[in-house]
Amino acid sequence: MNFLLDEVARATLRLAEAGVAAPRTDAEELAAFVHGVRRGELHSVADADFDALYWECVARRAAREPLQHITGRAYFRYLELRVGPGVFVPRPETEIMVDWAIGTLRAMDVADPLVVDLGAGSGAIAISIAQEVPRSQVHTVEVDAGALAWARHNIEACGHADRVTAHHADMRTALPEFDGRVDLLISNPPYVPTADSAVIPPEVSGYDPPLALWSGADGLDMIRELEHVGRRLLRPGGALAVEHGDDQGIDIPALFPEELGWRDVRNMKDLARRDRFVVVRRADD
């Protein structure tokens, strides 16, 4: 058997014992990263080329440092993004919301849709929309200067600086120049209840920026704010998508009542069939 594959098997056991959620996947990802190959090419690494740096990376992962911080990269839809300390690592669940947003924009009778992404993080949402809806103009907002630097780097590196603008601002008050003009507003806001601080994984509590996590006792404080922001920014008929926790779906629709000008409120599910994001439209005039 290939020596590297033997080491990956050993690393998988070590990561499993450490409580890592996907030990085999992470062991293979680290091996591929260290040896400069794809996961499916690990068998091609000669025994003599094994790099002991692999076990340093495994030790870091066993200590529950995020995989993406060790490799410095995160994959999101068709993107490879740079990530590290100070920025929220994009999750696969968010890809489903972005897929809905892209489909909604493509179906709109708008030549050059104006999109606002609140909470830029790594830039994953904004860059994906710009890349997959080529005529869109995307403005993304981030209050955390450290995270904003990651977003701006990724926007430039992915070649979309001409259509994605990153703003250093509070999402609650940002972009007044677009009031009533935005075609689609999207956000993966903080939504973790402060009461959950003792039970969230160490990869989250120890590494993701606090501003990207916590949102009051029930986790809904920022989503309540986004209801106000949506009424301000969206044009009549404009669409809003907001990610939330998988146990918050029952509470979200009530935050977008018809009497405040919202319609077509729906909770959407992720690939595990859990409530993951809400979509809603501004009523037409």
Detail the residues annotated as belonging to a binding site for substrate: 188-191
Instruction: Report the alpha-carbon distance of residue 92 to residue 87 in Å, rounded.
Output: 16
- CB atoms under 10 Å from CB of 282, counted, come to 24
φ and ψ of 65, to 5 deg: -70, 135
Q: Which residues are annotated as a binding site?
A: 119-123, 142, 188-191
φ and ψ of 184, to 5 deg: -145, 130
CB 262 within 8 A of CB 281: yes
φ and ψ of 167, to 5 deg: -110, 135
Name the amino acid, one letter, at 133: V
φ and ψ of 107, to 5 deg: -85, -10
Residue 92 exposed, middle or buried by CB count within 10 Å (0-12, 13-18, 19+): exposed
Q: Largest Cα–Cα distance in the chain?
A: 70
Query: CA–CA distance from 160 to each of 81, 133, 249 (Å)?
Result: 13, 12, 33
Residue 201 exposed, middle or buried by CB count within 10 Å (0-12, 13-18, 19+): middle
Name the amino acid, one letter, at 107: A
Name the amino acid, one letter, at 74: A
Q: Which residues are annotated as a binding site for S-adenosyl-L-methionine?
A: 119-123, 142, 188
